[in-house]
Structure formats: C-alpha cells, structure tokens
Amino acid sequence: TQLLEQSPQFLSIQEGENLTVYCNSSSVFSSLQWYRQEPGEGPVLLVTVVTGGEVKKLKRLTFQFGDARKDSSLHITAAQPGDTGLYLCAGGSQGGKLIFGQGTELSVKP
C-alpha cells in the first residue's frame, strides 16, 4: 500500500516568514502533485513534478521532487496572509489514481 506522510500537519506563522512543507513516502511515484484547498472548495492544482530532482518555481513557491521520486517539498518565501489554506501533496501511480497526504493547514497571520 502506497502512503504519503505530510508534515507538519499544522503551521501558524507570521507574515514575512519562510516555511517548508514535506511530503515523504517509502514508495516511488510516477509524479507528485501539489494542491491548495480553500474551505468549501475543491483542491486546486499548483504544480506537477515528474522528474527526480526536478525543481519548479511559482512566484514565491518552490517545489522540489526528490531524486528517488519518493519525497517532495514545498517552500514558501515571505509568506502572506493570502497563502493561508490547506496544502495537499499527492503521488501519482501508473494505475492513474492519486494517493494523498494528510494535508498541511497553513495559517499566516498579518
């Protein structure tokens, strides 16, 4: 059974601080996707990484896929209150379905 461990589960920081969210597994995934979910809404795709060691930047967000394609990280620089939300990592399998981590609830206080 493929599992994704996401940490931390909760994170409360002040505006302007940096943070990193981790997503780890003992399994290899064909891809790793990061989503952000607002209350009452569906997950919105932020990025997909498919190559081991790949790094993608999206403004203040930096995503990295581990060399062995078993782990990933999301780093946010100079967090803003608008970054508040639930961040989800999800591993893709060749079979098509996504395996989700438990999510990281981020709160950025002004």
Contact call for residues 62 and 47 (beta carbons, < 8 A): no
CB of 21 to other proteins, least distance (A): 14
Which residue number, 2 or 18, has a Cβ lying nearer to other proteins? 2
Quickly list DSSP for 9-64.
Answer: SEEEEETT--EEEEEE-SS--SEEEEEEE-TTS--EEEEEE-STT-EEEETTEEEE
DSSP 96: S
Minimum CB separation from other proteins for residue 35, in Å? 7
Q: How far is the CB of 38 from other proteins (least distance, A)?
A: 10
Whichever of 18 and 57 has its CB closer to other proteins, that residue is: 57
- Interface residues with other proteins (CB under 8 A) are 30-31, 33, 35, 40-45, 48, 88, 90, 92-103
